[in-house]
Every structure is written in structure tokens, then in C-alpha cells.
Amino acid sequence: MDLNYINEQCKILGIQDYEKEAREMAYKLFDVPNNDFSSLTKEELEYVEYYFTSGTYGTAKQRMQNEIHKFELEG
């Protein structure tokens, strides 16, 4: 993987902080996989819970908001 290229593209898209946070969490969770989450902070646990409970469009709440917005646009 060309990390310099990835970093440049993330910078262009304005998602470098998100990418860094997601990458660090992935290393924490999957570098040495186990079922012990006790070393994670409260914020990290919330981050993991959000990702594990989200679908393609985010959380169920976000999906409902998207559907309402779509309905409003269509009339």
C-alpha cells in the first residue's frame, strides 16, 4: 500500500483525521485479535459500537432521517 498516496488523497477529501482515527482503531482491534475490550476508553468503545451497529447509511436513526428527507424532496 502506498501510504503517501493515501494520505494525500485523504487530505484532498478533507478526511485525514477520520482516516487516522479509523486506522488506529483498526490496529487496536485487529492487530492482535481478542475479545477483551477492557483496554479501550469510553470514547473508543462508543466508536466501536457505532461502527458495529451501523449499516450502509449509518445508524438506523440516520437511515430514517435519510428516508424522511427523500420523501420530503419527492413530495
* Contact residues for 3 (Cβ-Cβ < 8 A; gap 6+): none
Instruction: Give the pLDDT confidence score for residue 41 in this predicted structure.
Output: 92
Q: So what's the pLDDT on residue 8?
A: 95
Tell me which amino acid residue 41 is.
Answer: T
Which residues form the domain of 32?
Answer: 3-74
Question: Are the beta carbons of 40 and 48 closer than 8 angstroms?
Answer: yes
Length of the chain: 75
CB within 8 A of 29, min separation 6: which ones?
Answer: 48
Q: How many domains does the chain have?
A: 1
Give the pLDDT confidence score for residue 58 in this predicted structure. 77
Q: Is the pLDDT of residue 4 over 90?
A: yes
17-65 pLDDT tens trace:
999 999 999 998 888 877 888 888 999 999 888 888 887 777 888 888 8
**What's this model's pTM, rounded to 2 decimal places?**
0.62
What pLDDT does residue 10 have? 95
CB within 8 Å of 53: residues ≥ 6 apart:
59
